[in-house]
Amino acid sequence: MRKTTATPADMARRSRGTIPAQPGPREAADAADTGVAADTADTADTVDTVDTTDTGDAADAADVAQVVIAGAGPVGRPGERATVRLREAGPDEPSRYAPEWLELRESADADARSPALLDPLRIRLANLPGRAGFVIHDLGCGTGSMGRWLAPRLDGAQHWILHDRDPYLLHFAAVASPRSAADGSRVTVETRRGDVARLTPDALAGASLVTASALLDVLTREEVDTLAAACAGAGCPALLTLSVAGRVELTPGDPLDAEITAAFNAHQRRGGLLGPDAVTAACEAFAEHGATVKLHPSAWRLGPDESALTAQWLRGWVGAAVEERPELAARAETYLAARLAACAAGELRVVVHHSDLLALARPAGGASS
């Protein structure tokens, strides 16, 4: 049966799980017809998983080819990357990540993050002198998925300080934060609106750990150096996960895959952002500040069970490529429709490569590393 065309609001409502209500007096009705940005402000009940398994044919896939949740790909003003910004922005600038996108990707993120980096991290944390618990700063926390993944994997009392420029996302993160560590110790949280470009060692005073997820690739080289310098000055390690590596694998393959990938990677580097060069730049920056750096791959591996995420990722990936190279538009439209149809039929497999980085700064106070 042919389905009706999905609107951005429909797509936003259908993301996985339950999104907490936004704080404040805004009623859901106020945002009913104003698109994705307003629709993310709805007071949400339990919502359904995106239905991509029965779209029927390639034409149906093409119908929704332009439905992109903020964060999955270019939306809003032409030429602007759909990314969260910790650096200063105008008061009316919308969030570049919709909570629906962050929620949709959370399971794939959790599966991808490298557990191999946790043992050296645990050793470092265990060697911290005179600590009754850990203070963990999560930069660009979004809806708090990093805390939900990491806190239950670490022993000991933890106090998480969640940083983001978007108070709406900070609310989500606080509401859905874990309450206990791996050994049952208490986990507490506080939220701060922050600017990573202004991060200083003083801001991290007393920190046991800095974390971030999918952040490095939306920073400049100067901002990455600022982050490395702040961690070094505070003597605290940094666990920075899910930085894009600039490589994707789609099965079955298509002759246009390589061109889309190259155009997307160029789009990621717009405005001096590091994009797929971020991990190399971060390794250099942390090493220059005396840290020991460990890397591990952390790829998304998307199959039929992740069709909702795959479809959104495809739209954003192709959309960014076309924004970078408009001459691809006609071929990309046919390509995307075919890819979405294959995704809906359960015939598409996608590997999106990322890297996780653990930087072990020289500890303050003479602790061993």
For 39-56, what is the mean pLDDT? Answer: 30
* Distance (Å, whole) CA 9 – CA 288: 46
User: Which tops the pLDDT comparison, 101 or 85?
Assistant: 101
pLDDT > 70? residue 17? no
Q: What is the pTM of this model?
A: 0.77
User: Which tops the pLDDT comparison, 15 or 221?
Assistant: 221
Task: Judge contact between 246 and 265, C-beta under 8 A.
Answer: yes
For 126-140, what is the mean pLDDT? Answer: 87
Our CA angle for 163, 313, 64, nearest 5°, is: 120
Per residue in 256-266, pLDDT (tens digit) is 999 999 999 99
343: Cβ–Cβ under 8 A, 6 or more apart, which residues? Answer: 52, 61, 307, 310, 311, 314
When mean pLDDT is compared across 1-15, 107-121, 317-331, the lowest value belongs to 1-15
Q: What is the pLDDT of residue 89?
A: 46
Q: Which amino acid is at 131?
A: R
For 170-188, what is the mean pLDDT? Answer: 94
The upper half-sphere exposure of residue 37, i.e. CA atoms within 13 Å in the direction of its Cβ, equals 10
Q: What is the pLDDT of residue 349?
A: 98
Q: What is the pLDDT of residue 196?
A: 67
What is the SS3 string spanning 86-119? Answer: CCCCCCCCCCCCCHHHHHHHHHHHHHHCCHHHHH
**What is the band of 323 on the pLDDT scale with cuts at 50, 70, 90?**
very high
When mean pLDDT is compared across 8-12, 230-234, 363-367, the lowest value belongs to 8-12
pLDDT > 50? residue 65? no
Whole-number percent of the chain with pLDDT over 90? 62
pLDDT > 90? residue 338? yes
* 138 strand-pairing partners: 162, 211
**What is the band of 195 on the pLDDT scale with cuts at 50, 70, 90?**
low
Task: Judge contact between 307 and 14, C-beta under 8 A.
Answer: no
pLDDT > 70? residue 84? no
* Distance (Å, whole) CA 139 – CA 142: 9
Q: What is the pLDDT of residue 197?
A: 63
What secondary structure does DSSP assign to 209-278, as a single string?
Answer: EEEEES-GGGSBHHHHHHHHHHHHHHT--EEEEEEEEEEEEEES--TTHHHHHHHHHHHHTGGGB-GGGH
The gap from C-alpha 148 to its chain's centroid, in whole angstroms, comes to: 13
